[in-house]
Amino acid sequence: MEVLDLCMILGVSAVTIRKDLKFLEEKGLLFRTHGGASLKNPYANDRSVIEKEKISVIEKTGIANAASAIISNNDSIIIASGTSVLALAKALDPEKCLTVVTSSLNIALELSRNKKVKVLQLGGFVRQSSFSVIGDYAIQFLDNMSCSKLFMGVDGIDLEFGLTTSNLEEARLNQRMINSSNKLIVLADSSKFGIRSFAKICPLNKIDLIITDKNISQQMLKKLEEKGISVQIVGKEIKND
């Protein structure tokens, strides 16, 4: 909830609302955010890919299947690192011929089983928590290519701060991936909205499409659409606030 909305609902001043939110946060009942408050912690911590793979599995699978459907035969694409895009690698049509550039060792290994997919594995220092590479070698490699689509997972999507991840070097690499692709497609389950992590990747206006699950809130969906961002919902229902 935002402070201004609470003022209208309760008929009190913003000063009163902020004092009450501070009191509730001290009691451990909510987390204060910029301009409002949230029941869930709005700051994402770095977690291992092994841990993340066990979270929102059904949602990630549905998102991955939807993303796979928009990839054309003979496409050249970039797949960043993360469990949502790893699910995409597993969901790719085995009959399509593709060239895939990736920073993820797990994704490269998954795609190497398909004889119709050419895999370009970026080089650099390996992040043990994500099994992906970072650094100048990967960035320099991307300077010499252009791909039709970038499929990227994120740790957080904040309406004001933008797309974020937990690692500064990974954010830097993701920025270069965006520059090397014609379209940015973000794969994010609904738990990523309203969250911000340590390192900013880009503002929301860089996004061409977000694919998410039906548990995204109506309020969040409305605000994204007001910003001109296309959102594809996997499933039928949209969660009411």
Task: Tell the residue number behind the tokens 């970026």, with chain if given.
Answer: 122
How many domains does the structure of the chain reveal?
A: 2
Q: Which residue range is the domain that position 29 belongs to?
A: 3-38
> For the whole model, what pTM was predicted?
0.81
Q: Does pLDDT of 238 surpass 60? A: no
Residues 87 and 19 occupy one common structural domain: no
Higher pLDDT, 235 or 66: 66
Q: Are residue 20 and residue 98 in the same domain, yes or no?
A: no
Q: Considering the domain boundaries, does residue 197 fall inside one?
A: yes
- In a domain, residue 43? The reply is no
Output the pLDDT for position 115: 93
More confident residue, 30 or 85: 85
Give the confidence band of 101 by pLDDT, cuts at 50, 70, 90: very high
Residue 66 and residue 27 share a domain: no
Give residues with Cβ within 8 angstroms of 26, minimum separation 6: none
Is 164 or 38 the better-scoring residue by pLDDT? 164
User: What does the pLDDT average to over 183-198?
Assistant: 93
Q: What is the pLDDT of residue 90?
A: 96
Give the model's confidence band at 54: pLDDT under 50 very low, under 70 low, under 90 confident, else very high: low
Same domain for 195 and 146? yes
Whether residue 239 lies inside any domain: the answer is no
* pLDDT the model gives residue 128: 86
Query: Are 91 and 194 in a shared domain?
Result: yes
Model confidence at 38: pLDDT above 80: no
Domain match, 17 and 114 both: no
240 occurs within a structural domain: no
CA–CA gap between residue 26 and residue 218 (Å, rounded):
29
Average of per-residue pLDDT values in the chain: 90
End-to-end Cα spacing for the chain: 9
**pLDDT per position as a tens digit, 198-232:** 899 999 999 999 999 999 999 899 999 999 999 99
In a domain, 241, yes or no: no
Between 26-35, 88-97, 106-115, the lowest mean confidence (pLDDT) is in 26-35
Does 29 share its domain with 130? no
Are residues 61 and 29 part of one domain? no
Supply the CATH number for residue 198's domain: 3.40.50.1360
- Same domain, yes or no, for 224 and 159? yes
Whether 29 is in a domain gets the answer: yes
Which pLDDT score, from 0 to 100, does residue 86 have? 96
pLDDT at position 27 is: 80
Nearest to 110 by CA among 36, 181, 49: 49
When comparing pLDDT for 93 and 195, which is higher?
93
Inside any domain, residue 83: yes
The tens digit of pLDDT for each residue in 115-172 reads 999 999 999 999 988 899 999 999 999 998 999 999 999 999 999 999 999 999 999 9
Question: What confidence score (pLDDT) does residue 235 get?
Answer: 82
What CA–CA distances, in Å, run from 239 to 59, 115, 137, 217, 229? 14, 41, 43, 5, 19
pLDDT for 176 beyond 60? yes
* Cβ 101 vs Cβ 78: under 8 Å: yes
Dihedral sign, Cα of residue 214, residue 216, residue 217, residue 221: negative
Same domain, 7 and 71: no
